[in-house]
Structure 1
Amino acid sequence: MSAASGAKVVPLAPHAAAAPAHARLRGVTRVFDLPKSTLHALGPVDLDLAKGEFFSVVGPSGCGKSTLLDILAGLSAPQAGTAEFEGKPIQGVPDGVGVVFQEDASFPWLNVRDNVAFGLRRAGVDPAEINRRVDYAVGFMGLKDFAASYPAQLSGGMRQRVCIARTLVLQPRLILLDEPFGALDQQTRLLMGDELLRLWRETSATVLLITHALDEAAMLSDRVGVMSTRPGTFIDFVETGWERDRDSRVVSTPHFGDITARLWEKLRIEALKIMSAGKA
C-alpha cells in the first residue's frame, strides 16, 4: 500500500483514545469444552473502543469474531481476562448495549410497528413514550409506509431494517452487529450500509461490526481490526481516515482500494495457513 493512500496501519496495541475507552477487553480468552477435547476459540485479545467510534472486525471463518461480540454483549463470559463497558465489568447484557444478528429475528406474527415496539413494551416503558420512539425509528428506517405490514410481506433488506429499528428504539450507546447484511445482495448491502452510517451519525453510538466482507468494513469503519486464524487475536489495526459524513460513494475512490488491499494482504496469509493445515 502506498504512503499516499492515507490508510494508517497502527501498532498492534489497544486503541489510544483521548478519552477513557467506551468498551474494553484485556487479555480476553475463550475456550469451549467439546465431547472429547477443548477448542481454544479466542485470545488473548486486547481492544479499546473509543466512544462514538465505528469499528469493524474481519478475519477467517471460525477465528472467534462472533465469540468476541458475544463477550461484549454479555452473552458469553471469558475464561480469562476482563471485559468492561463504560468502566464497569460486563456481567450479563449491559444496560445501553444493543445487538443485531444476521438471522432474521423479526416476529412473523407481529406487524412492523409492533415488532419495533416489542422490547419497549417488555421493559414497561410508558405507552406515549413508546409511540414517540417507534414513530421516530420507523420513519428513520424508511418503514413508515409499511408500519402495518408483516415480515412475510417485506424484502430481506426491509426485515433487517425492522430488526435495526427495534434496536434503535432502545437507544443503545453501544451497537453490536454480527454480519447483519450477510444474506443480502451486494447492491442492497451498500444501501443498507448508507442507512447504518446515517444511524451512527445521528445517534453518536459506538458501533462494532462483525463482517466477512472487506468492502463493507472498508466503507463503514473508522478503524478495522484484522483477526488471525483460531485462536483469534488481532494481528493488524487499520485506520481508514474517512470523514464522518461518508456514504457508499467512497467505494469508487482509489483510497478505498488501498484499504481493501491492505486488509486482504493480511487475510490472504491467514487463509493460506488454513488451507495448508487442511492439506497436512
Structure 2
Amino acid sequence: MIGAAVKARSDSLAISEVPAAVHARLRGVTRVFDLPKGKLHALGPVDLDLGRGEFFSVVGPSGCGKSTLLDILAGLSRPQAGVAEFEGAPIRDVPDGVGVVFQEDASFPWLSVRDNVAFGLRRAGIDPAEIARRVDYAVGFMGLRDFAASYPAQLSGGMRQRVCIARTLVMQPRLILLDEPFGALDQQTRLLMGDELLRLWRETGATVLLITHALDEAAMLSDRVGVMSTRPGTFIDFVETGWERDRDSRVVSTPHFGDITARLWDKLRVEALKIMSSGQA
C-alpha cells in the first residue's frame, strides 16, 4: 500500500527520500466555525495516519468537513482541538514540502502556460537555470509542450487543470493535496486526468490526499479510501483497494472495482439518508 519515495534525479522532479512510515498525522482534530447564527461543528474529532508514498482519497456527504480536513493539513486552517503533523512537526502554517491543487481554475489568465508553471519558482528566488529545467520537465510531463506559449483562455478546462498541477509539481512537494481537482470536467476527461495523476504519483513518489465526491474516482486512484460521516465529519470506514501501484483507468472494468464502489456507496447511502431525514444542509 505504501510505496517507497524515490530519490531526486537530474532528469525528473522526483522528491528526496525522507525516512518515516507515517508522513502526515491527525490526532483528535476538531474544527468549529463561528457563524452569525451560532457555532457550526464541522469536523471531528478525526484521527488519520497518511503513509509515505500512499495515495489516499476522502469521500463523504456534502458539508461533512472534507475540505476543512484538507485545509488543516495544508496549514490554511487551524483546529480548535487536536494535533496535525507533517513529517513529525506540528502544522502551524503552510508547511514546506506541501502542494495544493483546488477545483477552481487557479491559472493566471495574463501569463502563458510556461510562465504560469514558473510562477511559484520565481517567487521563491530559484536559480533561473533550475527554473528552466523544472518547468521544461513539468510542461512536457503534463503533455503541455505544444501549448507552452499559449494562454489559459486558449486551453480546454482539462488542460488548464494540467497547468495548475504542473505549477504544483515544479515545487517538488512531498505531500500533494487535491481538493476536487477534476470536479468541473466530463467523465471521460476525468478518467484520462486520473491516469495522468497516477503517473505523476508514481514518478515523484509523493504522498497524495485527494478529496472527491466521485466514488469511481476514489476507487480507481487510491490505495486506501476514507469514508466520512455526516457533519461533524469523522471517519466511519477505511477501504483498502489492493490495486497494484502500476495501475490505470482500465481497472474500472474489473469486478473488484465494482466491489469497492459498492462498499463505498453502502456506507455513504446511510449517511445521505441521515441528511435527508434531518434536513441538514
CA distance in 1, matches of 2:151, 2:49: 40
> In the alignment, is residue 92 of structure 1 matched against residue 90 of structure 2?
no
Letter in 2 for 1:172: P
Q: When the two structures are superposed, what TM-score results if normalisation uses the length of structure 2?
A: 0.92
Alignment of 1:118-267 (within 5 A): 118-267=119-268
> In the alignment, is residue 111 of structure 1 matched against residue 112 of structure 2?
yes
1:19 shift after superposition: 4.8
Q: How many residues align?
A: 262
Q: Note the alpha carbon deviations across 1:149-205, whole angstroms, 9 max, x for none.
A: 000000000000000000000000000000000000000000000000000000000
- 1:8 matched residue in structure 2: none
1:58 shift after superposition: 0.0
1:130 shift after superposition: 0.1
The 3-state SS of whatever aligns with 1:180 is coil
Q: Note the alpha carbon deviations across 1:121-160, whole angstroms, 9 max, x for none.
A: 0000000000000000000000000000000000000000
Alignment of 1:24-39 (within 5 A): 24-39=25-40
Q: When the two structures are superposed, what TM-score results if normalisation uses the length of structure 1?
A: 0.93
Letter in 2 for 1:231: P
Letter in 1 for 2:136: D
1:21 shift after superposition: 1.0
Q: Note the alpha carbon deviations across 1:230-266, whole angstroms, 9 max, x for none.
A: 0000000000000000000000000000000000000
Percent identity, aligned pairs only, is: 92
1:36 shift after superposition: 2.5
The 3-state SS of whatever aligns with 2:168 is helix
CA distance in 2, matches of 1:180, 1:89: 26
The 3-state SS of whatever aligns with 2:76 is coil
CA distance in 2, matches of 1:278, 1:161: 38
- 1:54 matched residue in structure 2: 55
CA distance in 2, matches of 1:213, 1:20: 28
Structure 1 gap segments, 5+ residues each: 1-17
1:28 shift after superposition: 0.0
The 3-state SS of whatever aligns with 2:115 is helix
Alignment of 1:14-29 (within 5 A): 19-29=20-30
Q: Note the alpha carbon deviations across 1:65-96, whole angstroms, 9 max, x for none.
A: 00000000000000000000000000100000
CA distance in 2, matches of 1:173, 1:36: 40
CA distance in 1, matches of 2:93, 2:235: 24
- 2:6 matched residue in structure 1: none
Structure 2 gap segments, 5+ residues each: 1-18
Q: Quote the RMSD (CA, aligned, Å).
A: 1.0
Q: Note the alpha carbon deviations across 1:16-64, whole angstroms, 9 max, x for none.
A: xx95310000000000001130000000000000000000000000000
CA distance in 2, matches of 1:73, 1:168: 16
The 3-state SS of whatever aligns with 1:76 is coil
1:278 shift after superposition: 1.8
The 3-state SS of whatever aligns with 2:182 is coil
In the alignment, is the contact (CA less than 8 A) between 2:20 and 2:87 conserved in 1? no
The 3-state SS of whatever aligns with 2:136 is helix
Letter in 1 for 2:151: Y
Dislocated runs of 4+, deviation >2 Å = none
The 3-state SS of whatever aligns with 1:22 is strand
